[in-house]
Structure 1
Amino acid sequence: MERNINLLEARPSFVTHLECSLTGELYPADQLHGLSAAGRPLLVRYDLPAIGKRLSRADIERRPTDMWRWRELLPVRRSEDIVSLGEIETPLIPLPRSAGPAVIVKDEGRLPTGSFKARGLVMAVSMAKALGVTRIAMPTNGNAGAALAAYATRCGIETIVFCPEDTPEINVREIAMQGARVWRVNGLIDDCGAIVGEGARQGRWFDFSTLKEPYRIEGKKTMGLELAAQLGWELPDAIFYPTGGGTGLIGMWKAFDELEALGWIGSHRPKMFAVQAAGCAPIVKAFDDGVEHAERWEGAHTVAAGIRVPRAVGDFLILRAVRASGGRAVAVEDHATLQAVDDAARQDGLLLCPEGGATLAAYRLALEQGWVTERDRTVLFNCSTGLKYPMPPAPRTLDRTQTIDFDSL
């Protein structure tokens, strides 16, 4: 078997400290942290000038194209702490018929456990291992719990997962099959998060809720690093990202700043579109109201379970990135999401998850409203394999013992 140098080679670490995303207060690296004293996410900071002296774009381009080619820009210091299941660089797939010639999908469904949650959780679990965590709990709408269960099980960390009772059945079974204790809760993801938070306060486990530990952002930012490299170090004109907790959008925005500081890209930024469902759109309301913090969305409902997040702890970071980019927060109706999934599958052969379908629906809306043009190079994020979600029935049968009417087939 070929030796993966990205995983096994000793490479220097450039992490300097952690920083409160709201106040700028500094925290030491190499210690276990949750939220900052202000109750907001912590961001990992690096010695970027030192990285620039040691590493070049050409160095990156010579490495195998998996997630770990970016080691110097990631927080795991020691190779032996990396808990990998094979995190590939995900492909860019055109959607010429259902979207147009300038649109490509970054298909995150190719990652371990079938979703982009693998990026954040492989990083967070690797750091938990490095920092001596032995028991983790998390609320999930499905895919994050599956990724946590897989990576934690691989390195022997005990895992307890809480999910809303209407979480897709395949997700619940996947979580259980990969070694976690999974509980269905009669509520939404933030209700599950309240249980996790109370258990953490009692010292029963470490809280792995979205953005309540610092390292998921660092895993998710690799989406932005990859995009830059895949597009020849020229960022696209627009990115449509399915937004629940928003970790990936926040992470990509951070990645772009770091790449510019290294001199690897210029100052051009994509318009960032935070895509939500009309039945759960707290970020959209906050964007439209011109505020930095979103109120909890009551009665949240949507077919896209992954973006059914009534309240996001990183709301202000999402909104800042969207506004700074000249983008928008966009809500789409479920019928438009399901139509987009159907169109991409039947016209372009790509099976999107509902959240990925929401990005295509949002792109179509943005075209109608003039927020983007058909010439804009646009990236849609498909965050999970569509194989995890219900599909329309295919009931036709054929009796081989009867005369077959071939004209009707």
Structure 2
Amino acid sequence: MSDTRTRLPALLLSIMLTLAVVPAGAAGTQTGQETLTVDKSGSADYRSIQAAVNAADSGDTVEVQPGTYYEEVSVNESITLVAPDRAILDGSRFVNGTGITVAGTAEPNVTGFTVRNYRFGVAANGTSGDWTVSDTTVIAADVGVYAPNTTGNWTIEDAAVASTAYSGVFARGTSGDWMIRNTRFVEVGGDGVDVRKSSGDWTVAAVVVDQSGADGVDASGTTGDWSVQNTEVRRSDAGVKAINSDGDWAVTDLTVSRSDIGLVTAFSGGAWTLEDSTLETRDIGVFTARTTGAWTIQNTTIESQQQGIHAVNTNASWTIFESTISVTAQRDAIGVDARSATEGWSLTDVTIESPGIEVAE
């Protein structure tokens, strides 16, 4: 017994010394991040989403069980807000409400919700965090995602926006590098994506815009570089518009149908590449005017009623190869209109079908 009592202080000292050398933050790593559950029936940690969000710390997960939640949710921390079984946020009880607001520097991951009957489905005005909205549907809002003046590199993916009064995504004046991927915009009153006067580099990939009140993508006044991939625009004014823009554009596998114009750009300085695309339009396939960037069109089919390519007063080289241009109007039809162009044009393996003028130079 005396030997045990003698050894006990030494053992306690050894344990204390061991704890003293544990690196700062290691205890938090060991305990892990919390998952806070929400169920309006009262069977979870919280009845309301906002109460759980307020209690969550950065890195935590707020998991929302199925049901309809009449709330406006504001997220100020970098948390995961998830509805694994499609919880519904409904704003029908609010005037000019917002479904989910991302604030400040927060970098949340919002996923799995159906958001309906709000002014803004998701709002992130002026944020600087790299937030993500995924697997989320916004229905019957004024604007699906309202994110002007942001500086973060945010992402919208695996999402849908339908039946909006105005744009699907309104993100003017942004400066971050961000992506919209695998997302559908259906029956939006304005542009599918409105990003005018932005300066970041953008990626639009596997996006569908079907029946917009304006354009599929309006990037007028932008200075960043753009990548548009595997994207389809139907029943819109223009597929992609970039008036007075200066970034370089790479457009691959773009389909525009039942729209007025496929691509529109004027007073722009960036280089454009259009390849592996199909533009079936009522008026003009590609409209350019007073541009200074070089153009390359490859393996592309343009079918239009009035003009295949309108490239008046352009000041850089054009290379078109392995493409077909078809114009169907019986009068004043022009396959390629390159009047007043100051640089050389190269057409290789290009088929131009037109009942009127084929090439105007």
**Which protein is richer in strand relative to its size?**
2
Q: Establish whether TM, by shorter chain, passes 0.5.
A: no
Larger radius of gyration: 2
Normalising by structure 2, report the TM-score: 0.23
Normalising by structure 1, report the TM-score: 0.21
**Which protein is richer in helix relative to its size?**
1
